[in-house]
Structure 1
Amino acid sequence: MDKIPYFQEEKPLHEYLRQHARAQPGKPAYVWYGASLTYRQVDDMSDRFAARLAGLGVKKGDRVVLFLNNCPQYVIAHFGIQKLGAIVSPCSPLFKKHELAYQVADVGAEVIVAADTLYPVVQEVMDKTPLKHVFLTSYGDLLPQEATIDVPPELRSPKNRVADTMDLLEALEGMSAPPQPELSMDDVVLMTYTSGTTGMPKGAMLTYRNALFKTASATFAAGVDDTTVTLAIAPLYHIAGMLMGLNVTIYSGATAILMHRFDPRSVLQAIDRYKVSHWYSIAPMNVAAMQVPDAKSFDLHSLKVNPCTSFGITLTQPLAEQWRDFTGGCQTFEAAYGLSETHTCDTYTPRDAVKWGTQGRPMPGVECRIVDQDSRAVLPVGQMGEITLRSPGNFKGYWNKPEATAATLRDGWVHTGDMGKLDEDGYLTFSGRFKEMIKVSGYSVFPEEVETILIKHPAVRQAAVIGIPDPAKGEVIKAFIVLKPEAADTSVEDIIQWSREQMSPYKVPKSVEFRAEIPATGTGKVLRRLLKD
């Protein structure tokens, strides 16, 4: 098919929310540790937040920053902003003051919605940014009196009230219908920050059309419909978590069991209690869930489909088979390849034609080419080069960065800065970032390539590698290893000797450092720059 047909007509996702609120008003859109938020409630509360923002002078095209982790208030704020034609700019709740100040100032936001526990960071950036209005919310505000699954202890923290700020939920009181600005599918509605192919983080400008196209794609790939119960754990502030946990839910009319953060026992409780059928996960989550001491006491047979991303731990066929046996039949597979500039999910793995070691094949409506990075000539099947993409999901450019936009967006194609190859069946193998490529005696080494091998060592739980300077070879490989608990007596020499037997000499780590953990983003993506620092 040329493109995934939409469940309804082409319109912004918040209009899908309105439709579901009319058609199935009492159906839970989100369940938050036992408290249900229906489609009518999500629509009404986001309407009232849009009206409150309009009262502050927020209008179409203005940017509003979200600085909080998963909670129902995130959903309310996200769609309230977009109903006005304003632009959501998510910030990681892991941000420190310099990171928050940079993004808020760069995007020019006057309004921020933050968790009350993060207010000290907001306070530190107020005089360094255009911020004028602060909405705070407590993660515990919408918790039920009696939870149905384990609640993270931090959600029980006392509410933090701060003078000269507005409480998000209290700010909805007394609000009526918001303005109805004229909107185009090509209006920018999301600005998610990414390092792109080079330099400081940049705001990738994404439209209503980008979001709808990729949401329909992800819904198709996972087989979600209005009978589905999903588990939403991946961070909503991250493009993949936003797509799967927020957009797919509202688009399809499904019910999402929303969790503040990953906890392996709570995952098993949620699947059992709510008969979850679909879960987008990250491979270490699956491994952790299987290690829960009383895991066999939970009924997991409802879980049928589990798109999974390899971060830190590679999703292999043996791991997938172990998960299938553990759950009683759930199929897991590599979820997709994608990036912020394309609203992610550019490829998918057909559930009846899984190819291990690949990221699947292009979504209907997505064109993928492998090109020579210098000549830009299209390369033949099987040859490694730069991944380029063209689809209705491609972004409009970087906010206030015309040169960076011109370097990435060329003739309608996004030049990703990623290395990969296509096989004869059109399946994509992602091999790493050009900018993270390590040159060892003239040989090109991609960190993911070495990490994928190291993780096969029986003692290794997680692995990350970087290049470090070497006077003779230019660069050599340094590996950071997290050992399995039962393999604590493994030595550096054990790892290096095993590597010599498993990989080309220039890929073998010159040095190994054991760590208790490897720095990663909220979604589990390894932060190699911190290892370099």
Structure 2
Amino acid sequence: MTSLLSQFVSRTDFESYEDFQENFKILVPENFNFAYDVVDAYARDSPEKIAMVWCDDYGEERVFTFKDMKYYSDRAANFFVKHGIGKGDYVMLTLKSRYEFWFCILGLHKLGAIAVPATHMLKTRDIVYRIEKAGLKMIVCISEDDVPEQVDEAHMECGDVPLKKAMVGGKAREGWIDFRKELEEASPEFERPTGEAATKNEDICLVYFSSGTAGFPKMVEHDNTYPLGHILTAKYWQKVEDNGLHYTCLLYTS
């Protein structure tokens, strides 16, 4: 197996722009879920296919296969379940470009929970706004740039809101969950939910907060079919090739 692309588009080759306009169509499966139907599908059929090459400013490098991504996203899903996160719950991810971001967002997709990516530059008032507006159930964040301090201050301002807080790296902090430690302790097996717990195409899987240039930031929702729309982005804007290396910098938005 090389590429899943043909499963999700009507055709991959076109003779002209007019041919593309007339005949291109995205094939939307019933109850599509990117984590299961793309990432886990590659993990099943091409487990050693490289999914992500990661490095940081300090010389650390990691290479993750699709098998690895399934392994860690299943662990992440079990981590979130342990802490009461389920379908429809909102979880804010302030992880900059940590590779754990991908474990978390895929794990949340598997649960049907809603990922809210957020910049590390948010201040206390911004975090309070997001906790209240989205009804956040958990925040997973980095340990530096004063992010945990800002989150704690925001949590205090929100009163008795039952917010779970998890930190990636850094020293132990009172009231916080050690994400890396608990991820390693979590089960590497997570079964796709069925029945009412299963995800549907129209379910929201991702929310960004707008920049707020005119008034307060607005919540911008994306459902489970959203990744399919980016097939065109990858093909014609980013020029992604199967087995090619494509640079991705997580935008510090929201």
The verdict on how the C-alpha distance between 1:24 and 1:64 changes in structure 2, with shifts beyond 3 A counting, is same
The verdict on how the C-alpha distance between 1:6 and 1:170 changes in structure 2, with shifts beyond 3 A counting, is farther
Q: Which consecutive residues of structure 2, in runs of 5 or more, have no partner in the other structure?
A: 1-20, 56-60
Give the Cα–Cα distance (whole angstroms) in 2 for the partners of residues 115 and 21 of structure 1. Answer: 28
Q: Name the SS for the 2:228 alignment partner.
A: helix
Q: Does residue 79 in structure 1 map to residue 110 in structure 2? A: no
The verdict on how the C-alpha distance between 1:203 and 1:2 changes in structure 2, with shifts beyond 3 A counting, is farther
Q: Which consecutive residues of structure 1, in runs of 5 or more, have no partner in the other structure?
A: 139-158, 240-533
In structure 1, what is the equivalent of residue 186 of structure 2? 174
Q: TM-score, with normalisation over the residues of structure 2?
A: 0.77
Q: Please point out which of 136, 139, 158 is paired with 2:167.
A: 136
Match of 2:206, as an amino acid?
L
Higher strand content, 1 or 2: 1
In structure 2, what is the equivalent of residue 405 of structure 1? none
Give the Cα–Cα distance (whole angstroms) in 1 for the partners of residues 239 and 92 of structure 2. Answer: 32
In structure 1, what is the equivalent of residue 205 of structure 2? 189
Q: Please point out which of 155, 159, 173 is paired with 1:126.
A: 155
Match of 2:33, as an amino acid?
P
Question: CA offsets, 1:98-136, max 9 Å, x none?
Answer: 111111221111211000112111111112333521111
Assess if the C-alpha contact under 8 Å between 2:92 and 2:118 holds in 1: yes
RCO higher in structure (CA 8 A, sep ≥6): 2
Match of 2:35, as an amino acid?
H
In structure 1, what is the equivalent of residue 171 of structure 2? 160
Q: Please point out which of 135, 141, 146 is paired with 1:108.
A: 135
Question: CA offsets, 1:247-290, max 9 Å, x none?
Answer: xxxxxxxxxxxxxxxxxxxxxxxxxxxxxxxxxxxxxxxxxxxx
Question: CA offsets, 1:116-162, max 9 Å, x none?
Answer: 11211111111233352111103xxxxxxxxxxxxxxxxxxxx3221
Bigger radius of gyration, 1 or 2?
1
Assess if the C-alpha contact under 8 Å between 1:4 and 1:216 holds in 2: no
Give the Cα–Cα distance (whole angstroms) in 1 for the partners of residues 223 and 234 of structure 2. Answer: 18
Question: CA offsets, 1:383-416, max 9 Å, x none?
Answer: xxxxxxxxxxxxxxxxxxxxxxxxxxxxxxxxxx
In structure 1, what is the equivalent of residue 93 of structure 2? 66
Assess if the C-alpha contact under 8 Å between 1:12 and 1:212 holds in 2: no
In structure 1, what is the equivalent of residue 13 of structure 2? none
In structure 2, what is the equivalent of residue 12 of structure 1? 33
Higher helix content, 1 or 2: 2
In structure 2, what is the equivalent of residue 216 of structure 1? 231
Q: Please point out which of 184, 199, 207 is paired with 2:223.
A: 207
Give the Cα–Cα distance (whole angstroms) in 2 for the partners of residues 184 and 133 of structure 1. Answer: 26
RMSD: 2.3
1:412-427 aligned within 5 A: none
In structure 2, what is the equivalent of residue 25 of structure 1? 47
Give the Cα–Cα distance (whole angstroms) in 2 for the partners of residues 2 and 112 of structure 1. Answer: 45
Match of 1:133, as an amino acid?
K
Displacement after TM superposition at 1:225 (Å): 3.0
Q: Name the SS for the 1:230 alignment partner.
A: coil
The verdict on how the C-alpha distance between 1:63 and 1:36 changes in structure 2, with shifts beyond 3 A counting, is same
